């Protein structure tokens, strides 16, 4: 049986979880509300302040979905209580980031600035300190959306392996290559 799927999800105070007949799970908490459509075969049971996810059979498909939906519901509970944050760094001379509301203006070494529209569900902030790389801070309740937006930002200028210039996640360790050897 799935080790992830077997683990019950503790429902903190202030969070309400409802499952309707179409197997749509709604999680409402102090930071907002999230919904997720669950496969019709997956069983969800709420009792004694805990949510458990079950599966009807040991088919490969059911085993795969069991842990997946347990993890998705767990991320929803964490999102509506604490929220998620993702921090990104711009490494390179002249690389800049500025935001106006949810519009991000990026100077990434191209001939033009890139204007990137952040979804309204997320909050974005940019930090530029002297002697430090510019940072982009993404914050929201939907872990999947934050990861998707961060991956899209990173894809605008991926870190290259020689100098490490580009957009990277904070704390990301890059695999560096040696430059070409000097000629004799």
76-117 pLDDT, tens digit per residue, is 999 999 999 999 999 999 999 999 999 999 999 999 999 999
Count of beta carbons in the 10 Å neighbourhood of residue 8: 15
**Two tokens at 47?**
């009792």
Structural domain 3-81, CATH architecture? Alpha-Beta Complex (3.90)
- Across 21-25, 122-126, 154-158, least confident range: 21-25
CATH code, 84-169: 3.90.930.12
Record the pTM.
0.88
CB 104 within 8 A of CB 126: yes
Does 84-169 match 3-81 at the fold level? yes
Residue 11's contacts (CB-CB under 8 Å, 6 or more residues apart) are 17, 46, 49, 50, 51, 77
């Amino acid at each position: 049986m799935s080790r992830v799927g077997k683990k019950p999800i503790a429902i903190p105070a202030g969070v309400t979880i409802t499952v309707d007949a179409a197997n749509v799970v709604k999680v409402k908490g102090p930071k907002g509300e999230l919904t997720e459509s669950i496969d019709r075969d997956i069983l969800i049971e709420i009792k004694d302040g805990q949510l458990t996810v079950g599966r009807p059979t040991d088919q490969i498909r059911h085993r795969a979905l069991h842990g997946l939906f347990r993890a998705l519901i767990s991320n929803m509970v964490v999102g509506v209580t604490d929220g998620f944050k993702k921090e990104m760094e711009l490494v390179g001379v002249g690389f800049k980031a500025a935001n106006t509301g949810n519009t991000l203006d990026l100077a990434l070494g191209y001939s033009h600035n890139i204007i990137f529209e952040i979804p309204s569900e997320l909050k974005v902030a940019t930090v530029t300190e002297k002697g430090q790389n510019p940072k982009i801070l993404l914050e929201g309740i939907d872990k999947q959306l934050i990861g998707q937006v961060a991956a899209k930002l990173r894809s605008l200028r991926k870190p290259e392996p020689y100098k490490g210039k580009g957009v990277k996640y904070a704390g990301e360790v890059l695999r560096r290559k040696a430059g070409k050897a000097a000629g004799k």
